[in-house]
């Protein structure tokens, strides 16, 4: 994001302790299956590490982790809890080329404005090694908007988000859609995309 949406940034800055020390403390449900696709010791970038639970699990599984978050308060609290060496990185600051074996972005890129998502996905694609894997999850909808907590979401349709990945040069491996409860209390379908750098 050229600039992190101010209301979304403020939400995560002020709510960082909540997201770090409460909620479902276990790692994301799709993480282990994603990691099972990787060679041991692979280098994984997490975009939007939040409280650090997924990055910590990635490290526990024997992978090298580069934990990042666009919100300084989140990166700090992830480090306070798990000593991850997490650093501050926005989507538009990802400039690596062919460095990572995998990029994990659970419930992160959904905050990228729709107009900027193609650039963000191009950056993810460039940062992956040939054959590298990427996971991201999005709340489905009918256009950019805010949830009841004031956070910006791109709320893509299934067809639109999959076309964005294909245009960015990814091969789609799987993209199940499941119902889920959002943190603002609303029920939405989520799409869980696993893609490969073609």
Instruction: Residue 80: give the domain boundaries.
Output: 6-197
Q: What is the pLDDT of residues 126-184, one digit of tens each?
A: 999 999 999 999 999 999 999 998 999 999 999 999 999 999 999 999 999 999 887 77
pTM of the model: 0.92
Side-chain-side CA neighbours of 17 within 13 Å: the count stands at 1
Selection from 148, 126, 112 nearest residue 3 by Cα: 112
Question: Based on the number of CB atoms within 10 Å of its own CB, is 178 exposed (0-12), middle (13-18) or buried (19 or more)?
Answer: exposed
Residue 53 lies in a domain: yes
Give a yes or no: residue 189 inside a domain: yes
Per-residue model confidence as pLDDT tens digits over 20-61: 454 446 899 999 999 999 999 999 999 999 999 999 999 999
Q: Where are the alpha helices (DSSP H) in the chain?
A: 6-14, 16-21, 31-35, 53-60, 72-82, 117-127, 158-167
Q: Is residue 1 part of a domain?
A: no
| Predicted pLDDT of residue 86 | 98
DSSP-based three-state secondary structure for 90: coil
Structural domain total, the chain: 1
Q: Given this model, what pLDDT does residue 25 score?
A: 63
Question: What is the CATH number for 13?
Answer: 3.40.50.150
> Which residues make beta-bridge pairs with 193?
136
pLDDT at 97: 98
| Mean pLDDT, range 6-16, rounded to an integer | 84
Question: Does 106 reside within a domain?
Answer: yes
């Amino acid at each position: 994001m050229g600039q992190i949406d101010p209301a979304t940034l403020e939400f995560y800055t002020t709510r960082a302790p909540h997201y770090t020390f409460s909620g479902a403390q276990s790692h994301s449900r799709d993480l282990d299956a994603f990691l099972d696709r990787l060679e041991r010791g692979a280098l994984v970038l997490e975009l939007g590490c939040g409280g650090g639970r997924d990055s910590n699990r990635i490290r526990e599984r024997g992978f090298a982790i580069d934990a990042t978050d666009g919100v300084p308060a989140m990166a700090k609290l992830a480090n306070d809890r798990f000593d991850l060496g997490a650093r501050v990185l926005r989507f538009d600051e990802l400039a690596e080329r062919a460095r990572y074996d995998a990029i994990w972005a659970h419930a992160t890129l959904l905050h990228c404005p729709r107009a900027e998502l193609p650039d963000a996905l191009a950056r993810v694609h460039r940062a992956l090694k040939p054959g590298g894997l990427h996971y991201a999850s999005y709340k489905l909808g009918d256009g950019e908007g805010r949830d009841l907590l004031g956070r910006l979401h791109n709320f893509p349709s299934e067809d639109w988000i999959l076309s964005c990945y294909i245009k960015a040069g990814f091969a789609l491996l799987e993209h199940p859609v499941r119902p889920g409860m959002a943190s603002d209390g609303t029920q939405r379908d989520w799409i869980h995309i696993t893609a490969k750098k073609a």
